[in-house]
Amino acid sequence: QVQLVESGGGLVQPGGSLRLSCAASGSSFSIISMGWYRQAPGKQRELVAEITSGGNTNYAASVKGRFTISRDQNTVDLQMNTLKPEDTAVYYCNAAVWEKRGISWTRADQWGQGTQVTVSS
C-alpha cells in the first residue's frame, strides 16, 4: 500500500506563489512517476505537471514557465509562481508506482485527497 500525504495550498493573490508538496510512503513500492493534477468546477481533471523517476518532466501548456515540479526521493513538490485566477482548482497529487505483492510487482496509480488552491484578489 502507498499513502500520499499532501501539504500546501491555500489562498493567494494573482501574481503570487505557492508551493505544494506530496510525500509517498509505504512498506514496499517503487516510484515510476509522480505528478500533480487539478480539477476546476465544471471541468475535467487535467495534468498539471509530472516527473519521472529519471527526472524527465512534462507540463501543461498553461503552466509551462510558471510552475516547476521537482522530486526528492519519494516527495514531489510543485512550485507555482505568477499564479493566475485560472489556476484556481483542487490540486491532486498522483504517483504511478510498482507495488510488491508476494514476489510479484503490480503497477498502480495512487492519489492524494486533494488540496484547494484559490487565486483571487
Per-residue cell: 93: 497529487
Q: Is the predicted pLDDT of residue 52 greater than 90, yes or no? A: yes
Q: Is the predicted pLDDT of residue 47 greater than 90, yes or no? A: yes
For residue 24, list its beta bridge partners. 4
Half-sphere exposure of 28 (CA within 13 A, CB side): 8
For residue range 54-92, list pLDDT tens digits in order.
Answer: 899 999 999 999 999 999 989 999 999 999 999 999 999
Q: What is the dihedral of CA 31, 33, 38, 44, to 10 degrees?
A: -110
